[in-house]
Each structure stands twice: as structure tokens, then as C-alpha cells.
Amino acid sequence: MKNEIFWLVSTIIVSSLFWVPYILDRIFEHKLIPALRNPNRDSRPKSQWANRLMYAHENAVENMVLFAPLVILVLYLDLSTSATITAAMIYFYARVAHVLLYTFGVPYLRTLAYFVGWLAQLYLAIIVLSSFT
């Protein structure tokens, strides 16, 4: 059975790959050796899609700090149900959709995808908090 850990690890793996297209874009823009040097933190890709992907990647990493502990707490507290597994799965797909929609510059739907992922996290948080009442 696929559980919350499967979706957590899947989210970690896909998030760890989000940087690949924008570094390839940077290599294309600057050539290999300059792209491999330590860039200035404020140096953003020239391609708008790569710039958006960089921001989406940063957002995915920032949200992992919220999602991972919630999944671990659900499992540690033995609160796993089909609903918590579904919430973890929804979070995964919402994050993938968010990155794709952000990269391709699709407003509104990008925000909706982010909100759906946030709701999945909120659900997990409510499950954890309700176990203490």
C-alpha cells in the first residue's frame, strides 16, 4: 500500500529535480564554465520561464519544511488513514502542478494549485492537532 511516506519521498525527489531545467538554461545562456562558477545570489536567469522556475523551486523547498514534519507526525502518532494518504497525494500533485503552471506563466491556476497544496497541509495539521484533544 502506498502511504504518506511514499508521497513525501516522491515530493522530495521531484523537488530535488526542479533545478535541472534552469541550470541547463543558464549553461545555454552563459556557456558551461561561467555557469558553473559561483553566481551572484541576485543573478537571475535571462529567460523568463527559467526565472519563474527558480522561484517555483525555492517555493517548493520552503514548503517542504511544512509538509515533511506533518507527514512524519501523522505516522509517529499513528494517525494514518486513507484520508491522510490522499492528502499527501494531493499535496504531491498540487506541488507538481504549481511548478509547471508557475514555469509556464499561468496565473490564477498557479495560485489555485498552491492553495490546494496548502489545504492538504492544513488538513494534515488539523489531524495532528485533533489527536491532542
CA 95/CA 116 separation, integer angstroms: 9
CA 50/CA 15 separation, integer angstroms: 15
Please name each of the domains of the chain with its CATH number.
4-130 (1.20.120.550)
CA 49/CA 34 separation, integer angstroms: 20
Count of CB atoms situated within 10 Å of the CB of 96 = 18
The predicted model scores a pTM of: 0.90
pLDDT band at 2 (very low <50, low <70, confident <90, very high): low
CA 45/CA 69 separation, integer angstroms: 32
For residue 11, what are the CA distances in angstroms to 35, 78, 97, 117? 27, 21, 12, 12
pLDDT digits (tens, 9 = 90+) for 49-97: 998 999 999 999 999 999 999 999 999 999 999 999 999 999 999 999 9
For residue 5, what are the CA distances in angstroms to 11, 22, 41, 46, 72? 10, 28, 33, 37, 8
Instruction: Return the residue matching grid coordinates 509547471.
Output: 100
